[in-house]
Chain A
Amino acid sequence: MAVETRSCSDILVNGVPVTTEAATLAALVAELGHGDARVATARNGDFVPARVRGATQLAPGDRIEIVSPRHGG
């Protein structure tokens, strides 16, 4: 797959400002080292299924959530 060359985007990942070269949500997830870990994602408040991350383009200002299982009541 051809890697698109593009400028960096300033986005928020889990509420923290991040500058990334990733063009897609899938690339971002890989860049952050989640690889094959069981995480779920949302972009600007909407759920993004794992299979759609590769087709989900990132844009400056995006709010990304990357979550994983935790203790809960």
Chain B
Amino acid sequence: MNVIEPHAKPQKPFALYGVDLASRLLLGTAQYPSPDVLARAVEASGASIVTVALRREQARGRKGERFLELIEATGARVLPNTAGCRTAKEAITTAHMAREVFGTDWVKLEVIANDDTLQPEVFGLVEAAAALTQDGFKVLPYTTEDLSIAERLLAVGCEVLMPWGSPIGSGRGLANRYALQSLRAYFPGVPLIIDAGIGAPSHAADAMEMGYDAVLINTAVAKAGAPVPMAAAFAQAIEAGREAFEAGLMGVRDMASPSTPVAGTPFFDLPPPANKPGND
């Protein structure tokens, strides 16, 4: 009987801010059809990190407590975001509130420039990243693929960058592959995580094959027809993409190149068929 080994070949360890992480998939916790589906999707994804947020609590409300219990039961490390913040000041205050409530100094820093594109407001982002790093935060900035902004974020103390693939929730995959490849090539030693815009496991595999260290997914899993199997599909795609990157992809060629040996081809000595144009 053939025994098929599960795809669990040892891959190079992945660490952020000195913390080893078992999975290269980071999962968002928003927009799931139910708390139960969310919990099962986290499990199926194998995610070591889940993103969370802070929102206004109603008087005598207990929504926050219930959500936190659900998330803590998954065993994943929480990564609070500053989603929706439009200025450095708002993001800084939100990060401090998150540190107290979630008990972590990690923060997924978002400063949003525009409601339609949800693109990073990169000037405020650098300002907030500098202030928070000074205050002891481990900042994971949601940024663009822009190299000069990346350099500034690293200069103020960020040890991880999270460039967008495409706008949040758009599901368009890697909109600017060339720039993302440049970023990867320019910062070979910096952990780079694609955050936002991933719509399909193939997008995630694409990012991983390019050498990105990890991928953060939310909408593509939460809004799938069946979020739990989709979480598993993303886990496999990310693992496959990473393994392919480590194995080394072949170079792309302009023209065909036979895979079967040419030497010893039967009838090779005969002239090309007469009815084939251009072969005379």
Q: Which residues of A contact B (CB under 8 A)?
A: 13-15, 32-34, 37-42, 45-47, 49-50, 65-73
Contacts and interface: CB of A to CB of B under 8 A. Distances in A.
A38 B71 CA distance: 14
**Interface SS, B side:** mixed
Contact of B97 (A15, A47, A70): A47
30 contacts: A13-B59, A33-B60, A34-B61, A37-B62, A37-B65, A38-B64, A38-B65, A38-B68, A39-B57, A40-B98, A40-B100, A42-B93, A45-B89, A47-B100, A50-B100, A67-B56, A68-B54, A68-B64, A69-B71, A69-B101, A70-B64, A71-B29, A71-B30, A72-B51, A72-B53, A72-B54, A73-B29, A73-B30, A73-B168, A73-B218
Scoring A37, A41, A49 by chain B CB atoms within 10 A of each residue's CB, the highest score goes to A37
A68 B93 contact: no
Given A14-B56, A39-B101, A66-B57, A71 B67 contact: yes
B52 A34 contact: no
Contact of A69 (B52, B59, B60): B52
Contact of A72 (B30, B59, B62, B65): B30
A69 B81 contact: no
A42 B38 CA distance: 29
A33 B57 CA distance: 11
A67 B92 CA distance: 15
B80 interface: yes
A32, A68, A69, A70, most chain B CB atoms within 10 A: A69
A20 to B, nearest CB: 11
B30 A38 contact: no
A37 B9 CA distance: 44
A38 B101 contact: yes
B266 to A, nearest CB: 59
Interface of B: 28-32, 38, 51-65, 67-68, 71, 80-81, 83, 89-90, 92-94, 96-98, 100-102, 168-169, 218-219
A73 B31 CA distance: 9
A32 B31 CA distance: 28
A66 B60 CA distance: 11
Contact of B55 (A13, A37, A47, A70): A70
Nearest to A67: B54
A68 B51 CA distance: 14
Given A70-B53, A72-B28, A49 B100 contact: yes
B60 A70 contact: no
B64 A69 contact: yes
Nearest to B29: A71
A60 B128 CA distance: 29
B101 A68 contact: yes
B57 A71 contact: no
Given A46-B93, A67-B54, A69-B54, 16 more contacts: A14-B58, A34-B57, A37-B57, A39-B57, A40-B98, A41-B97, A45-B93, A69-B52, A69-B64, A70-B52, A70-B55, A70-B64, A71-B28, A72-B29, A72-B54, A73-B53
